[in-house]
């Protein structure tokens, strides 16, 4: 890959997708507020898998739906 | 021909400029999470990896995958599956943003975008730079 190819590819990818706006509900929210939240849920899912498969626990979500 | 140190610096500068122009807030977050390095190739790859991570978290595609993972082993008190992942705001945040929480499934699906960035990351990673091929 050349420098020109790399920069052209970056421009093409970013321009095409980053202009797709977030829904109105996210307009005012700082992105820092939501950053990492899905990752936290992902980590929780991995822990739940370990607890269920290795420890034999049955897990119930409290205060959720 | 592999990219030179100057090439990696130029590509990095271009990437940062583009992200900053299109999404200044994302750029600030990515810069915060990217480890500083004297090696421009390493720095570019770390910046791209942070960008991919942050943008994939703002994709409903990632929401679906995480939800599936949770539902493998967790049930609601009624025995059903968890239907969504929602971020509850604090009292002050509710007053400021005029909403009680954020449904993370409402995010646009940016999976294709994330996959293209990942492909770019792998291509750049395979290009070890000219000083690495000596």
Task: Evaluate if pTM is beyond 0.80.
Answer: no
Residue A21 in domain:
no
Residue A18 in any domain: the answer is no
Nearest to B110 by CA among B41, B46, B58, B34: B58
Query: Which of A34, A41, A65 is opposite residue B102, by nearest beta carbon?
Result: A34
In a domain, A49, yes or no: yes
Residue ranges of the domains in chain B?
1-59+109-134, 60-107
Domain of residue A42: give its range: 30-65
Q: Given this model, what pLDDT does residue A25 score?
A: 60
Beta-sheet pairing, B74-75 with B101-103? unpaired
Could you tell me the pLDDT band of residue A59, with boundaries at 50, 70 and 90?
Answer: very high
| Pick from B125, B113, B108: nearest CA to A10 | B113
Please tell me the distance in Å from B95's CA to the nearest CA on chain A: 12
**Per-residue model confidence (pLDDT) at position B134:** 40
Please count the structural domains in chain A. Answer: 1
pLDDT at residue A26, as a whole number: 62
> Residue B102 and residue B117: Cα distance in Å, rounded?
26
Ordered per-residue pLDDT tens for chain B, 134 residues = 788 999 999 999 999 999 998 888 788 888 888 888 889 999 999 999 999 988 887 777 788 889 999 999 999 999 999 988 988 999 998 998 888 888 888 777 778 888 999 999 999 998 766 655 44
> Is B118 within 8 Å of B55 (Cβ atoms)?
no
The answer to whether residue A6 sits within a structural domain is no
Contact B120, A9 (CB under 8 A): yes
Tell me if A8 is assigned to some domain. no
- Find the closest chain B residue to A57 by CA distance: B73
Judging by beta carbons within 10 Å of its beta carbon (0-12, 13-18, 19+), is residue B132 exposed, middle or buried? exposed
pLDDT reported for residue B33: 83
Does any domain span residue A55?
yes
Say what the pLDDT of residue B133 is. 45
Residue in chain B closest to A18 (alpha carbons) equals: B22
Out of B11, B87, B106, the one facing A3 most closely (by C-beta) is B11
Establish whether this prediction's ipTM goes over 0.85. Answer: no
Contact B102, A58 (CB under 8 A): no
CB count within 10 Å of CB B55 equals 22
CA distance B60 to B105: 5
Whether residue A23 is contained in a domain is answered as no
Query: Is the Cβ pair A34, B76 closer than 8 Å?
Result: no
> Is A65 within the bounds of a domain?
yes
CB-nearest partner of A10 from B18, B75, B110: B18
């Amino acid at each position: 890959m050349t420098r020109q190819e790399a920069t052209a590819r970056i421009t093409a990818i970013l321009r095409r997708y980053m202009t797709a706006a977030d829904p109105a509900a996210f307009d005012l929210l700082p992105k820092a507020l939501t950053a990492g939240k899905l990752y936290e849920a992902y980590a929780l899912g991995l822990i739940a898998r370990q607890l269920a498969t290795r420890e034999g626990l049955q897990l119930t979500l409290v205060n959720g739906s | 021909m592999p990219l030179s140190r100057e090439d990696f610096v130029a590509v990095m500068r271009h990437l940062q400029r583009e992200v900053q122009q299109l999404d200044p807030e994302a750029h600030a977050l990515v810069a915060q999470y990217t480890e500083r390095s004297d090696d421009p190739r390493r720095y570019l790859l770390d910046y791209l990896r942070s960008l991919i991570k942050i943008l994939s978290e703002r994709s409903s595609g990632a929401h679906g995958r995480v939800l599936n993972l949770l539902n493998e082993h967790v049930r609601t008190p009624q025995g059903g599956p968890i239907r969504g992942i929602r971020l509850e705001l604090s009292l002050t945040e509710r007053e400021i943003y005029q909403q009680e929480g954020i449904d993370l499934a409402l995010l646009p699906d940016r999976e294709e975008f994330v996959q293209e960035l990942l492909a770019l990351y792998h291509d750049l990673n395979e290009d070890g730079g000219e000083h690495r091929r000596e």
